[in-house]
Amino acid sequence: MSPVETANAALAHPQRFRVSGGARLVGEVRVTGAKNSVLKLMAAALLAPGTTSIGEVPEILDVAIMSELLRRLGCDVERDAAASTVTINVPEQLHHRADYDLVRRMRASIAVLGPLLARTGEADVALPGGDAIGSRPLDFHVAGLLKLGATVENEHGFIVAKAKQLTGATIWLDFPSVGATENLLMASVLADGRTEIDNAAREPEIVDLCTMLTLMGAEIEGAGSSTLVVHGVDRLQPVNHVTVSDRIVAGTWAMAATMTQGDVTVHNANAGHLEIALDKLVTAGATVDRTADGFRVIMDRRPTAVDAVTLPFPGFPTDLLPMALALNAVASGTAMVTENVYESRFSFVNELSRLGADIRTDGHHAIVRGRPQLSSAPVTTPDIRAGAGLVIAGLVADGETVVTKIHHIDRGYPAFDEQLRTLGADIVREDDDQPQFD
**Which positions touch ligand EPZ (CB under 6 A)?**
35-36, 39, 108, 134, 136-141, 175, 177-180, 318-319, 341-342, 384-385, 412
Coil/strand/helix, residue 335: strand
> What is the distance between the alpha carbons of residues 425 and 421, in angstroms, rounded to a whole number?
5
Nearer Cβ to ligand EPZ (381/401) = 381
Least Å from the CB of residue 57 to ligand EPZ: 15
Nearer Cβ to ligand EPZ (213/286) = 213
Nearer Cβ to ligand EPZ (108/117) = 108
Least Å from the CB of residue 35 to ligand EPZ: 6
> What is the distance between the alpha carbons of residues 114 and 187, in angstroms, rounded to a whole number?
4
The residue among 239, 305, 178 whose CA lies nearest residue 46 is: 239
Residue environment code for 127-145, b if the CB has 16+ CB neighbours within 10 A, otherwise e:
bbeebbbeeeebebbbbbb
Distance of CA 226 to the CA centre of its chain: 20
Least Å from the CB of residue 422 to ligand EPZ: 23
Nearer Cβ to ligand EPZ (90/108) = 108
DSSP 141: H
Among candidate residues 99, 124, 131, 234, the one labeled active-site is 131
> What is the distance between the alpha carbons of residues 438 and 227, in angstroms, rounded to a whole number?
40
Residue 83 neighbours by CB distance under 10 Å: 12
Distance of CA 93 to the CA centre of its chain: 30
Least Å from the CB of residue 29 to ligand EPZ: 19
Least Å from the CB of residue 183 to ligand EPZ: 9
Nearer Cβ to ligand EPZ (39/281) = 39
Nearer Cβ to ligand EPZ (36/195) = 36
197, 173 contact by CB (below 8 A): yes
Radius of gyration of the chain (CA): 21
Beta pairing partners, 219: 231
Distance of CA 156 to the CA centre of its chain: 28
Nearer Cβ to ligand EPZ (177/245) = 177
Nearer Cβ to ligand EPZ (121/134) = 134
Task: Give 293: exposed, middle or buried? Use CB within 10 Å, 0-12, 13-18, 19+.
Answer: middle
Least Å from the CB of residue 204 to ligand EPZ: 11
> What is the distance between the alpha carbons of residues 167 and 177, in angstroms, rounded to a whole number?
21
361: part of which helix (H) or strand (E)?
Answer: strand 358-362
Least Å from the CB of residue 205 to ligand EPZ: 6
250: part of which helix (H) or strand (E)?
Answer: helix 247-259
> For residue 156, which amino acid is it?
H
DSSP 50: E
Least Å from the CB of residue 279 to ligand EPZ: 19
> For residue 275, which amino acid is it?
E
DSSP 82: T
> Is 208 assigned a catalytic role?
no
Name the residue whose CB lies closest to ligand EPZ.
Answer: 179
Catalytic residue numbers, as ranges = 131
